[in-house]
Structure 1
Amino acid sequence: MIRKRRIGLMTAGAVLLGLPHGGTAQVYRDPAAKPDVRAADLVRRMTLDEKAAQMQNAAPAIPRLAIPPYDYWNEALHGVARAGEATIFPQAIGMAATWDRDLLFAEGQTVATEGRAKYNQAQAEKNYARYYGLTFWSPNINIFRDPRWGRGQETLGEDPYLTGTLGTQFVLGVQGDDPRYYKAVATPKHFAVHSGPERLRHGFNVDPTPRDLAETYLPAFRRTVIDGRAESVMCAYNAVDTKAACANSDLLQKTLRGDWGFKGFVTSDCGAIDDITTGHKNTPTNPQGAALAVKAGTDTGCDFKDEMLDLPKAVKAGYLREADMDQALVRLFTARMRLGMFDPAAQVPFSSIGIDQNHSAEHRALALRAARESIVLLKNDGALPLVKQAQKIAVVGPTATSLIGLEGNYNGTPIGHVLPLDGMEQVFGANRVSYAQGAQLTAELPVAVPRTAFPGGLTVQYFNNTTLTGAPATTARAKEIDVNWAQIAPAPGVGRGGFGVRWTGQLAVPAPGDYQFELETRRGCDIGNGGGSYLIRIEGAPEQRVAINCKSGEKPAPLQVRFTDTRPRAFTLELANNASGAGDVTFSWRPPADALRAEAVRQARGADVVVAFVGLNAWLEGEEMPLQIPGFDGGDRTSIALPASQLKLLDDLAATGKPLVIVLQSGSAVALGQAGRSARAVLEAWYPGEAGGQAIAEVLAGKVNPSGRLPVTFYASTDQLPAFTDYSMNNRTYRYFTGKAEYPFGHGLSYTSFAYGAVQPATPSVAAGQGTSVTATVTNTGRVAGDEVAQLYISASGRDGAPIRSLKGYSRVHLQPGEAKTVTFKLDPRDLALADADGVMRVKAGSYRLWVGGGQPGTTAPGREAKLQVTGQAVLPR
């Protein structure tokens, strides 16, 4: 009965598509009809101008059709972003370092659940703002081909197989397995061949060889579309073969929709439609550029200049058919139908998800698990774990108390986060841990005033007014002034807008000298956007009162103070926020560099071991920013060496003779050089998310056995690499790199040891076009339990232009001491194929070398090898 009713409705819907505009049967309102039929029925009822408006990311309401406003722009790179409190996982590159498919799937599920919770609440409050929708512009699966790219931290690494398999699991977790409704929509991006430089991206053209395109740049997208069934894809800023990616019919029509059978919708990156005309010069006017994008297969634009509103002009000028717009809109509204946006809430299984499921205890535990699994032990000469040797631990370095050092970019607002220093004190005991900042991240930029400068801490009073008068709404204590209040209230009982905050206490500097102080509001000047101000009062110094004017773009001059001694002085900071919401607030300084280092050396000399927290943050490396200082260029890096201010700190710490452990926090490879060779141990912790400080301390203490593996090559220097603008894969990534890396892709140590048994293909030979499997036994030969990441690499000898080796399988296994497990890798025909010069994937007869081990062959990783013979030849689908 039900089946017959659905068939009847579908038939009626198909007939209704041919009705004139005034047809009355509203098939789009019928939940039993097919989503695409419903979408087509709805689209045919719109005017031309309404259609164009619906093709922007911020689509307005059409009340006569009962269409509510909707903004397609939402972010979930490593947790739901920019919509207030949410679970913050390690930055994407850290998630890649887990090499854990199940974890990426669970992360995707968490994103969908928390996204639904926020969406449901927002709908109830009639909040249709950006970042409260269900179409998430994640994951970023561009290949991290060069460590200088600032956005590489957003990716899943340099390898197409690892990126594709992890990205696919994230997509599946986000979209869910309900046969009728998506829990949310995932959007693999940026299609295609996109990886910097940031300052050139709006007009940069890439001419990849067909082989590099097929072998490196497209496989991850193919996998997320075919295996992950992604409903959406984002096209990139750059041009490919002179044609803007968002107007490139070879990419969007021939490859994506033709070869791969993609049925979903394509969104542009933000401003990329405008770039077609103004950046790439593919068309003389924007109406022509927008038309070219739609004809090529872009369905909605993330518009900064209302680019898609020019589509009616394009239709009238003959650049585009209205039918082309209809096709795009049917794709867009099919997705919204499958999200349940036009159905009764009781019928949509995810409509009952409440805000209580946001940042739940279960999700917080998952973020901690992710942080633990993401940490990579790069080097250890026996200094770790710090169980018996370290009675007194000197924690030094600028990232030890840095909030942005946990967050990365594209993140939610942290609640209950654990900074590295706090994690160290919790795990080892505050009585065993001392702290000194030691250095700025770079000599050119201020750094947050550390908690050591506020002896006794700070009293914080919050007011529900901007005059800071009357009784405070609440009072609290703080160790430093480094907060993120984006889309949340600054304290319980305080409104998100129109509030005031007063911090009071004492300020003590580490040495006499000249200091500069300033209040930084980094995220788009969120604080004070409505006419706010701040006041800095330090005993014995002139008072500074600053009116914040975000529109002017002018940054207030810092407060300059000369200290003749180190005695504590009375300190007050007052902030008045007139904006409707708040963001990041950091009280920063530029101290004498020698004073910071001397303080750190004093702490080191009084300790048994030194743990140095150094690295970068997402205000140094990231997406298109105005930063231009030595080593950094607009979000990218010109050098992968640790900044000189931090290298000098490490040199001085090593000179004390105390055992030195380095904890790196970064979004990409950092070359330590001699500093790394002098250290007894080195950890890479990435930007580890809300639980990062706890996870790092647990690994250092041996409570958690490190198990992360590098998803990128840590080169010794950019001198080993081609030019950043060169997109050829020659001598790039572990698959083609012929030099000696500081730490290779796949590398990661453990507090135990593992051994591998014989590598056994299911059969000694396989016919081209057929799949097979490979097994090996892994044994924990050490004394403690641990996770091993078994990695399968394949090499094909005698193939011109082929990678040196390629990852084609991995498996994370947990083993008790003495325990053995058999890992099985399934190889499909594509895993044995290589691209020829024309980009055709071919399986050829020959001998293939198989390696299964804890890292790449030819490194210190344990493993075994075998051979697999392939007979015959086969050409695989694109």
Structure 2
Amino acid sequence: MTRHPFRDPTLPVPRRVEDLLARLTRQEKVALLHQYAPAVPRLGLAEFRTGTEALHGVAWLGEATVFPQAVGLGASWNPELVEAVGRVSAIEVRALHAKDPMVSLNVWAPVVNLLRDPRWGRNEEGYSEDVLLTARIAIAYCRGLRGDHPYYVRTAPTLKHFLAYNNETGRDVTSSTVRPRVLREYDLPVFTQPIAAGVVDAVMPAYNLVNGRPAHLSPYLNGELRALAERDLLVVSDASAPSNLVDSEHYYDDHETGHAAALRAGVDSFTDHGTDSSVTVARLGGALERALISQEDIDRAVARVLALRIRTGEFDPDVDPYAAISETALNLPEHRALARRAAREQIVLLKNSGDLLPLSTGTGLRVAVLGPFAEELRADAYSGTMPYRATVADGLRRALAPDGGEVVSTNAADRVVLVVRGTGRPVRLAADGSLTCAPGPDGEPFDRLDWGQGLSTLRSVTTGRYVTVKTDPTDDDLAAGAPAPRTRADRLTAEQLQPTGWFVRETFNLIDQPAGTTVLRHAQLGTYVVVDAETDELVATARRPQDAEQFSLRMVRPGLAHARELARDADVAVVVVGNDPHIIARETLDRDTVALPPAQEELVRVVGAAQPRTVLVVMSSYPYAFPDDLVPAILWTSHAGQETGDALADVLLGRYAPTGRLPQTWYRSDEDLPDLLEYDIIKARRSYLYFEGEPLYPFGHGLTYTTFDYGPPQVVLDGATVAVTLEVGNTGKRDGTEVVQLYSRPVDPSVVRPSRQLQAFARVELAAGRSRRVELTFPVSALAYWDVAVGRHRVEPGEYELMVGRSSAAPQVRARLLVPGEPTGGRDILGIDVRAVDFDDYERVALVDTSRESGDAVAVTGSGAGWLRFRAVHLDRAALRMTARVGRLEPGEATITVRRDDPVGGAVLGRLRVGRTGGQYTWTTVSGGVDAPAGTYDLYLVLAGEQRLDSFRLDVS
């Protein structure tokens, strides 16, 4: 058989791609653009797919090492650890690939969307609300996933989800308004920095729109991102997003046009219609026939797919350095050890009054572990299957057993039997797991867990399994294309290990009735539970509440009273509360509130009153708000995987001193947060950078079991680098690790700047009584902001305060730094086309798309007038004429009023009238006289009436 050049590993990748591309037919090329690409037998190409989920270990493919959630990895503030987690995750992807070649080596991780709002349903998937921390952790994880070979990659990491994606509410139809400063200072760097570091092979666009344009059509894909990539950057679509361009977003009228636009914008691999590639192939083929795309467009995309396949070693199994990883490289002892280390390092000690922690472990210590996660661990939507589960109670039992310690536990749920009011029969558990009211022995006791917002789960005491609504096939099966016939409709069974799936079927609304009974409404289906007259099974088929079965809840054991009793009789109580990752908030569902569920807060209150030595463990995917004076000690952990319980035991008992630090702000209440869809962190004073209130716990916060002292800092500005050196000493009696954090702020900025911004951090391990010199460095360019007047980053000259401490709100020492920077006068605008979006401030406007392909403009929102402020504009001569590029859909007229220094009372310098232009992307220019005197002052454009403004210009005549 002839050995073609594309199979020659001594050739550079571009040459191999060129050869293979030339051998493919047009039809074969188009087929390679779907996620599931067919084999090309005549060339020896196997089937191929993009996408294996590996956010914190390998997901969806059975047993694999489960590491802490991404937000937990962010809380470690330890890039070296995260790189090791990435390395093991990639090894296990390779192991599964060795077993099944259709397990893709293109991994869809990490998620680098910033955690600007803790109510986001996918908060668990991101690392931090801070750019620097997110970028450093992401680079480390990608480096671990990718390996360090110059030619081949262990796996090919994919950054998700580009761009400005932080809401599940209407995620495929809402538009994130992101002005240039927020884009350049906040949202864009977490993508550009890992790409510039050379550790990224692919990017996935987001579901949402940005400034009115679907993210899958972003001009930044081919522009900003690919300009930074050292080699081919693959762009893979999110699931169904190409179809969304027509079906939900109505951005295009037909799918051939939408798919063509996505391909031209830079999308190379279309994740749509599951494993069925025929729809995508037909649409792209049709677009090619209609000349909406060219063969060159197809070839560019296919070339990037082929380059990735070559880099993953598909064609070179004999020389690929990672090909020797076998299917046995799963859940190895060293992987389990790393999982425990990662779970330990992400735990954050939030409070420790009276030095309750670490717990003294004298002989016979009795610990009561209470709450919904006392004896359970949870996997999330992007977890693998845990090979084992070390719960909190398990971990403490193992740790205390050698000294005769004892652990008692309860989930603190009310234990009830459901009794059908009409017949008096209790609900029983049949042999096949279904729930029935047929005559028989006593009813099955269920633990009712209240998760807040009216949602409860019912867990069988006999089997430990959760009640679900079983429909054959389930919605999850149907979504995957399963053709299985429906046998029994919507019957209740107790068979789920935990609530799970894209369509969660384990949550119910238990609605109390005036007569003292309760009806059960299935939360996902919206139907009510009745007893099937023929089979006596419980089924969720009633459409109206008046048709629902009436149940009495016979109390077997009240949960709070039982928890109080166990706590009172123990030496120490550990209350473990938090969220189930599939309930309240998840992908497709945001939280309504940051408050701890009332039932959980009441549990903490009751136990804290009964047992003064109570530790609260918040096990959650996101921050909570709650009274923090109910107990003396509080820990936070993410859902940290298979080793969670052993890791918590290590920390609680002092075998490991906590080193985690919060990767995002914990707010005191919902009132501290703006609207979920508010993406302007500057205007809304959002995130620790701009927040002006007092948080419950600040970004970077975390305590440990010893104390540290900071010496006076020495600051040196050496060319393009700032170096801050200081002595850090462990002044306590225990060894420990301090996370030294360096923040900056401009002392007298000319524009709104962060009141604190992380510039560097270092983990410092010190024995008790020892100290060491610590140097923190950062580039002067990190002090820059995006200057809309000149369209680039600029370091403003002046004085900067540097703050070093243990959190964003706890600076221990301060220093001043004088930076020469780049001086600027007023903003010259005379005779210059000024983009409307390059404003300094605004009210009642949103950003929209200038065209479907590129450009941003400004549109008025609501019924009142909006305005734009352009700060310190400089006119060396008086301007007598203004021209504006505008668009207006409605009939009649709108106006642009030019004012000086104030949008309401400022002197009117001129007014332009805007008539109807006809189409959303139909633009025209309007002109009129103005009387703008020479000088430097703030210029306001007041926009009244429906209109779009793309740009404006002032001229002397």
Query: Is TM more than 0.5 here?
Result: yes
Secondary structure class of the residue paired with 2:622: coil
Distance 1:91 1:545, change over 3 A: closer
Residue identity in the other structure for 1:749: L
Q: Is the 8 A contact 2:159 2:203 kept in 1?
A: yes
Secondary structure class of the residue paired with 2:122: helix
Secondary structure class of the residue paired with 1:165: helix
Distance 1:802 1:654, change over 3 A: same
Alignment of 1:641-680 (within 5 A): 641-673=595-627, 676-680=628-632
Residue identity in the other structure for 1:252: L
Tell me the CA shift for residue 604 of structure 1.
1.5
Distance 1:283 1:69, change over 3 A: same
Q: Is the 8 A contact 1:439 1:649 kept in 2?
A: no
Residue identity in the other structure for 1:719: E
Q: Distance in 2 between matches of 1:814 and 1:552?
A: 45
Is 1:684 aligned with 2:636? Answer: yes
Q: Distance in 2 between matches of 1:553 and 1:613?
A: 23
Q: Is the 8 A contact 2:607 2:614 kept in 1?
A: yes
Tell me the CA shift for residue 651 of structure 1.
2.1
Is 1:263 aligned with 2:232? Answer: yes
Q: Is the 8 A contact 1:533 1:545 kept in 2?
A: no
Residue 295 of structure 1: aligned partner: 264
Residue 818 of structure 2: aligned partner: 869
Quote the RMSD (CA, aligned, Å): 3.8
Residue 81 of structure 2: aligned partner: 103
Is 1:332 aligned with 2:305? Answer: yes
Alignment of 1:328-477 (within 5 A): 328-343=301-316, 345-381=317-353, 382-388=355-361, 391-404=365-378, 407-429=379-401, 431-439=405-413
Residue 477 of structure 1: aligned partner: none
Bigger helix share: 1
Is 1:190 aligned with 2:165? Answer: no
Residue identity in the other structure for 2:223: K
Secondary structure class of the residue paired with 1:282: coil
Tell me the CA shift for residue 832 of structure 1.
2.1
Residue 133 of structure 2: aligned partner: 162
Quick check: which has more Rg, 1 or 2? 2
- Pick the aligned partner of 1:286 from 233, 255, 262: 255
Secondary structure class of the residue paired with 2:641: coil
Distance 1:598 1:849, change over 3 A: same
Is 1:848 aligned with 2:806? Answer: no
Gaps of 5+ in 1: 1-23, 446-457, 463-479, 482-502, 509-514, 535-541, 563-588, 626-634
Residue identity in the other structure for 2:233: G
Residue 708 of structure 2: aligned partner: 754
Secondary structure class of the residue paired with 1:636: coil
Q: Which has the higher contact order (CA 8 A, sep 6+)?
A: 1
Deviations 1:172-226 (Å, cap 9, x if unpaired)? 1111111121111001111111111x13111111121100111111111111100
Tell me the CA shift for residue 271 of structure 1.
1.2
Q: Distance in 1 between matches of 2:568 and 2:85?
A: 43
- Pick the aligned partner of 2:756 from 805, 817, 822: 805
Residue identity in the other structure for 1:215: E
Q: Is the 8 A contact 1:139 1:188 kept in 2?
A: yes
Residue 795 of structure 1: aligned partner: 745
Pick which of 823-832 and 57-66 moved more. 823-832
Q: Distance in 2 between matches of 1:790 and 1:544?
A: 49
Tell me the CA shift for residue 655 of structure 1.
2.9
- Pick the aligned partner of 2:104 from 133, 137, 143: 133
Residue 598 of structure 1: aligned partner: 561
Q: Distance in 2 between matches of 1:418 and 1:552?
A: 27
Tell me the CA shift for residue 848 of structure 1.
1.2
Residue 176 of structure 1: aligned partner: 147
Residue 316 of structure 1: aligned partner: 289
- Pick the aligned partner of 2:178 from 187, 205, 208: 208
Residue 767 of structure 2: aligned partner: 816
Q: Distance in 2 between matches of 1:335 and 1:530?
A: 36
- Pick the aligned partner of 1:714 from 666, 670, 675: 666
Residue 733 of structure 1: aligned partner: 687
Q: Is the 8 A contact 1:660 1:679 kept in 2?
A: yes
Distance 1:593 1:716, change over 3 A: farther
TM-score, length-normalised on structure 1?
Answer: 0.77
Residue identity in the other structure for 1:391: L
Tell me the CA shift for residue 266 of structure 1.
0.7
Residue identity in the other structure for 1:409: A
Residues paired across the two proteins, number: 731
Distance 1:242 1:544, change over 3 A: closer
Q: Distance in 2 between matches of 1:35 and 1:620?
A: 46
Q: Is the 8 A contact 2:396 2:407 kept in 1?
A: yes
Q: Distance in 1 between matches of 2:758 and 2:414?
A: 39
Distance 1:440 1:289, change over 3 A: farther
Residue identity in the other structure for 1:323: E
Residue identity in the other structure for 2:814: E
Q: Distance in 1 between matches of 2:475 and 2:637?
A: 24
Secondary structure class of the residue paired with 2:160: coil
Q: Distance in 2 between matches of 1:642 and 1:722?
A: 19
Q: Distance in 2 between matches of 1:372 and 1:259?
A: 36
Distance 1:680 1:557, change over 3 A: closer
Q: State the identity as a percent.
A: 34
Is 1:243 aligned with 2:217? Answer: no
Q: Distance in 1 between matches of 2:797 and 2:508?
A: 69
TM-score, length-normalised on structure 2?
Answer: 0.71
Distance 1:558 1:716, change over 3 A: closer
Q: Is the 8 A contact 1:752 1:780 kept in 2?
A: yes
Gaps of 5+ in 2: 419-428, 434-445, 448-458, 517-551, 825-957
Tell me the CA shift for residue 623 of structure 1.
4.0
Tell me the CA shift for residue 874 of structure 1.
8.7
Q: Is the 8 A contact 2:377 2:639 kept in 1?
A: no
Deviations 1:311-356 (Å, cap 9, x if unpaired)? 110011111111101001101101111111012x221111111122
Q: Is the 8 A contact 1:605 1:658 kept in 2?
A: no
Tell me the CA shift for residue 532 of structure 1.
11
Pick which of 110-119 and 385-394 moved more. 385-394
Deviations 1:370-413 (Å, cap 9, x if unpaired)? 11100000001121111158932111100122231xx3331111
Q: Is the 8 A contact 2:725 2:775 kept in 1?
A: yes
Q: Distance in 2 between matches of 1:689 and 1:505?
A: 24
Pick which of 187-196 and 646-655 moved more. 646-655
Q: Is the 8 A contact 2:468 2:505 kept in 1?
A: no
Secondary structure class of the residue paired with 2:381: coil
Distance 1:229 1:874, change over 3 A: farther
Q: Is the 8 A contact 1:277 1:285 kept in 2?
A: yes
Q: Is the 8 A contact 1:608 1:658 kept in 2?
A: no
Q: Distance in 2 between matches of 1:85 and 1:870?
A: 54
Distance 1:342 1:517, change over 3 A: closer
Pick which of 80-89 and 648-657 moved more. 648-657
Bigger strand share: 2
Residue 948 of structure 2: aligned partner: none
Q: Distance in 2 between matches of 1:845 and 1:590?
A: 70
Tell me the CA shift for residue 844 of structure 1.
1.9
Q: Is the 8 A contact 2:375 2:409 kept in 1?
A: no
Residue identity in the other structure for 1:377: L
Q: Distance in 1 between matches of 2:766 and 2:74?
A: 21
Q: Is the 8 A contact 1:759 1:851 kept in 2?
A: no
